[in-house]
Amino acid sequence: MAEVTRVGTDSHVGHASPTPNPFHQTAYAEGSANVFTNGAKTVRIGDKTSCGDPATAGSSTVFVNGIKVHRKGDATGGHGSWVPNSSASGSSDVFAGG
């Protein structure tokens, strides 16, 4: 089972752009308004990092507000010319299978 990703605490792996933009790694900025993991909003598919990288993969069996939960290692979609990557971290004691 993978670690559940949280707003403000966890980040994506980071990415660079094919254009001469600097590499960056940012924290998740969006999540559920009413479901929390370790006191932080729980990230779901469609929620974004502060740079705009959207969560695009998640648990096939665990949902928050009807949306798949995003976990450490789950894919992100990239944005603009920035390439997709994945969640780099998650809760050390809350896990989601699937």
Rounded CA-CA distance 27/60 in Å is 23
Give domain status of residue 34, yes or no: yes
Give domain status of residue 12, yes or no: yes
pTM exceeding 0.85: yes
58: containing domain = 1-76
Give residue-wise pLDDT tens across range 22-36. Answer: 888 999 999 999 999
Rounded CA-CA distance 22/56 in Å is 23
Give domain status of residue 52, yes or no: yes
Residue 80 Ramachandran class (φ > 0 left, ψ -120 to 50 alpha, else beta) = left
Give residue-wise pLDDT tens across range 59-81. Answer: 999 999 999 999 999 999 988 87
Going by pLDDT thresholds of 50, 70 and 90, the confidence category of residue 16 is confident
Give domain status of residue 87, yes or no: no
Give domain status of residue 90, yes or no: no
Give domain status of residue 97, yes or no: no
Number of domains in the chain: 1
* CATH number for the domain that contains residue 51: 2.60.200.60
- The 3-state secondary structure of 54-75 reads EECCCCCCCEECCEEECECCCE
